[in-house]
Structure 1
Amino acid sequence: MKSVMVTGPGLTATVEVPAPVAGPADVLVRIRACGICGSDGMYIAVGGIPPRQGATPLGHEPAGEIVEAGAEVTGLAVGDHVVLNPMASGDGIIGSGGAQGGLNELVLIRGAQAGVHLVTVPEHVPFEVAALNEPMAVATHAVNRLEPKPGQTAVVFGAGPIGLGAAIGLKLRGVAHVVVVDVVPNRLAKALKVGADAVIDSSREDVAARLLELHGEAPRYFGRHGKPATELYLDAAGVPAVIETVLATARHGARLSIVAVHKKPISVDFGSLLTSELTIALAMGYPTEIFEVTKDLVEHWERYALIVSDVLPYTQVGRALDLAATPGAADKVVVTLP
C-alpha cells in the first residue's frame, strides 16, 4: 500500500510499504479522508519524530471505512464508516510518531474496541467532514476548559479551524454571544457563517472598545473598572497581542483557555493582574473529547463543513501539504482517498 512519510528535513514522499494484515481481534480501515494539521508542517520541517526520524508516517486526522473485521470484534462491521482515535493506537500515536499514519491507504487497529479506538458515523456525512473529528476534539477540549455556562458571553481569538470549531462548540453549549477576532476578512466572514454573533478585525478595530460595545461594562471590582463584561476568552491564535489584550481587558472572574501554540515566551505582570482573579487554563489534545465531539459533528455536519476550505485527491498530497503550510493560502486542507 501507499504511505505518505517524512523522509528528511523538509522532505516528504509517497512510498510503498507492506499492507497490514488483520488478526481476529483487529479491524482494518481503508482511509477515505485525512486532514492536514499545522503540526504536520512542523514534523516535515524537522525531518520527522524520533525514533522514526526520516521515516515518519503523516496524518492524524483520519476517517475511513472498515474493510475487514476479525471474528472477535464486536460492535463494528465491514462497510462501517468510522472516525479514529489517533491517541489510542497500540503502536504509537497515528501520524504523530507512531508506526502508522492517517495518510496511509490502510490503517490497522489492533484489539479494536468500538468507543475506544473508533466509532461509526452515518454514511450521509462526507468523509472530508468526518475527518474534522480529531481537530474538533481539540477545539472541544479548549471549550471544556472554559467550563462555559448557558447565557455567558465569549470571545475567540483566531478564526482558523480550531477557533471556528470552538465558536461552534460555545454556541452549542448555550453561550449567548460569541465574538470571533481575526485579521483576515474571509475568515471573519466564515466565522459569521458558522454561527458567531459578531466579529472583530483587530487590524482595524480596538478589540477592548468593541467588546465594551457588544457585551457592555462589567461591574467595578477592587478598582477595576471600564472592563468589558466578556466572561470567557479563548486563544486559538498564538500571538502575543492576544494575551496582552486579554490581560488588559479581563473583567473580574473571567476565564481564559489557551489552545494555541505560543512559540515565544510572553511576559505576564501578575501584580497588576491579581485583582482580576483571572483563571488561565491551558488546553492540549483531547483527554476525553475525541468521541464526545462526534455527536455534534454528525448532527451539525453542514455547519462544520464550512471549516473545510480545500479538498484535494491523494494523487495531489504533496500539493496539499504545501498548501496547508503556506500562510494565508488555505484554511483547512483535507486529502481524500478513493
Structure 2
Amino acid sequence: MSNQIKAAVLEELNGEFKLETLNLAPELAPHEVKIHIVASGICHTDEAVRNGQGGDYPFPGVVGHEGSGIIEEIGTAVRSCKPGDHVILCYDYDGYCKNCLNGRPAACLNWNALNMEGVNGDGGTPFSKLDGTPVHNFFNQSAFSTETIVDDRNITVIDDDIDLRKVGPLGCGFVTGSGTVFNGLKPEVGSSLVIFGTGAVGLGALMAGKISGCSKLICVDVVPSRLETAKEIGADYTINSKEEDAVARIREITGGGADYAIDTTGISPVMQQAFDSLTSGGKVAPLAVTRHEFKIEHPFADLTAYEKSVIGVLMGDAVPQKSIPQLIEFWKDGKFPFDKLEKFYKFDEINQANADSASGKVIKPVLIIDEDYTV
C-alpha cells in the first residue's frame, strides 16, 4: 500500500496551490532516496511553472525545488548517503554524459528531461492522487511536500547541526546567483559588476562578487527597500531605474561601462540595458526563466566591434555537492549572509508566500513544512 503524504498541488495553468493528500510510491528504485522534507524555499521558477513563463508543464504537478530535509530510506544501490543524514536538494543530472564527465553537470545533455518534464529518469513519478491519477514531479524533487522521492544525485549531505529551515534556498536561487559569478563570469579582482534585479539570485551574485574582490558592485532595481538591502550586504552603488537612466549612471560610475553584468529580471528592455551597460570586452549573463525576447539586432556593430559576450549560465554552472558546502562555509564566516533575506511561512500559507515573492515584497520566502523540527 502506498504511503500517504501532504503536498501542494498545481492542478492547472495559473491555478493556486492546493494542499492535498497524495500517495507516495511505496518502493524505491535502487538509486532513489526517500526524504522527509523540513522546509523549502519558493523560487521564481516555481511561479514560472505556475504562470507558464517556464514553458509547457504537464499538470497536475508538485513543484518546489529548494528543499531541505532528512533521509528516511535509501535504495539498494545508494552509497552517497544514509538514513538520518541531513540534506539539501538540488537539480538532477545523469552523471554519464560528456558534460557531466567533464565536471559540468548543470550542462548535462539530459538536464531538461530530468528536471523540467514532470517525470524522473525512469519516466515515472512517485506521486499519485488517491484515485490513482499520476501527479507530476519537478526537478526530480518536488519539495512542496511532506515527503518525496529523489535520485541520490539530487542530494548534498550537510552537518546535522545546521538549521534545515534556512538552507534549502542554497539549492537553487543562491547557488545560481553566486555560481554565475564564481563559475560563469569569473570576474577579476578589482573589476566592476552590475546586477539588474535584487531578488535572491541577484543578491546571491552580489555576495559572490564581494567575495571575488570586485571593486565596483552596482545593483539596479525599482524597489527602494530591496536596494537598501543590497547596500546592507555589500553593494557599492545602487540605482533606482525608475528615477534615473541606469545605463548612463553605470557608465558614469565605471568610467565607460561595466566589465560584467547579470540580469535576473527577464524583462526585454532591462536585458537590453544590461547589455548596453557593458564596456568593450564585457560579458553579460541573462539568468531569468522567461519567454521574453532579448535580441542583438546588429551583431557586428553591437557585439563584434566591442568584443562583448552574452553567456548562458544554468544553475550557476555549479556542482551542487561541491558548491553548496562552499556557500555554507562562506555563510559561517559571515561572507554570505543569505539568511538575512529569508522570511518563514507555514505550509498552508504557500499562496501568500508565493504572492509576496512575485510582488517583490519578500526576497526569499521559505515554507516550514515540518513545524515540529528543531535543530
TM-score normalised by the chain length of structure 1: 0.83
- Counterparts of 1:15 and 1:249 in 2: how far apart (Å)? 47
Which of 191, 196, 212 lines up with 2:235 in the alignment?
Answer: 196
What does 1:29-40 align with in structure 2 at a 5 Å threshold?
Answer: 29-40=35-46
Tell me which residue corresponds to 1:220. Answer: none
Tell me which residue corresponds to 2:362. Answer: 330
Tell me which residue corresponds to 2:293. Answer: 265
- Counterparts of 1:208 and 1:288 in 2: how far apart (Å)? 30
- Counterparts of 1:83 and 1:281 in 2: how far apart (Å)? 27
What does 1:137-216 align with in structure 2 at a 5 Å threshold?
Answer: 137-143=175-181, 144-215=183-254
- Tell me if structure 2 keeps the 8 A contact 1:312–1:335: yes
Q: Say yes or no: does 1:319 pair with 2:352.
A: yes
Which of 57, 61, 68 lines up with 1:56 in the alignment?
Answer: 61
Tell me which residue corresponds to 1:7. Answer: 11
Read off the aligned partner of 1:169 and give its amino acid letter. Answer: A
What does 1:12-23 align with in structure 2 at a 5 Å threshold?
Answer: 12-21=17-26, 23=28
SS of equivalent residue, structure 1 residue 234 = strand
Read off the aligned partner of 1:294 and give its amino acid letter. Answer: I
Stretches of structure 1 lacking an aligned partner (at least 5 in a row): 218-226
Read off the aligned partner of 1:68 and give its amino acid letter. Answer: E
SS of equivalent residue, structure 1 residue 282 = coil
- Tell me if structure 2 keeps the 8 A contact 1:82–1:119: yes
Q: Say yes or no: does 1:119 pair with 2:167.
A: no
- Counterparts of 1:48 and 1:209 in 2: how far apart (Å)? 32
Stretches of structure 2 lacking an aligned partner (at least 5 in a row): 95-109, 120-124, 126-136, 371-375
Tell me which residue corresponds to 1:79. Answer: 84
- The structural deviation recorded for 1:148 is 1.8
- Counterparts of 2:288 and 2:32 in 1: how far apart (Å)? 35
Q: Deviations over 1:128-152 (max 9, x none)?
A: 3311122223223432321322221
Aligned-pair Cα RMSD in Å: 2.9
- The structural deviation recorded for 1:93 is 4.5
Q: Deviations over 1:146-201 (max 9, x none)?
A: 13222211111110111111111222223233111111111111112222222122
Tell me which residue corresponds to 1:136. Answer: 174
Identity level (%): 23
SS of equivalent residue, structure 2 residue 210 = helix
- Counterparts of 1:27 and 1:267 in 2: how far apart (Å)? 43
Read off the aligned partner of 1:257 and give its amino acid letter. Answer: A
Q: Deviations over 1:279-324 (max 9, x none)?
A: 111223355433333123312336011222x211113223323433
Tell me which residue corresponds to 2:278. Answer: 250
Of 81-90 and 164-173, more deviation after overlay is shown by: 81-90
- The structural deviation recorded for 1:9 is 3.0
Judged with a 3 Å threshold, the aligned counterparts in structure 2 of structure 1 residues 61 and 289 are, in CA distance, closer, same or farther, namely: same
Which of 261, 267, 277 lines up with 1:239 in the alignment?
Answer: 267
- Counterparts of 1:276 and 1:6 in 2: how far apart (Å)? 46
Moved over 6 A (4+): 47-50
Read off the aligned partner of 2:39 and give its amino acid letter. Answer: A
TM-score normalised by the chain length of structure 2: 0.75
- Counterparts of 1:126 and 1:166 in 2: how far apart (Å)? 23
- Counterparts of 1:40 and 1:96 in 2: how far apart (Å)? 13
Read off the aligned partner of 1:211 and give its amino acid letter. Answer: I
- Counterparts of 1:95 and 1:263 in 2: how far apart (Å)? 15
- Counterparts of 1:75 and 1:47 in 2: how far apart (Å)? 35
- Counterparts of 1:73 and 1:263 in 2: how far apart (Å)? 38
Which of 149, 169, 172 lines up with 1:108 in the alignment?
Answer: 149
Judged with a 3 Å threshold, the aligned counterparts in structure 2 of structure 1 residues 296 and 187 are, in CA distance, closer, same or farther, namely: farther
- Counterparts of 1:232 and 1:2 in 2: how far apart (Å)? 44
Count of aligned positions: 320
- Counterparts of 1:190 and 1:153 in 2: how far apart (Å)? 19
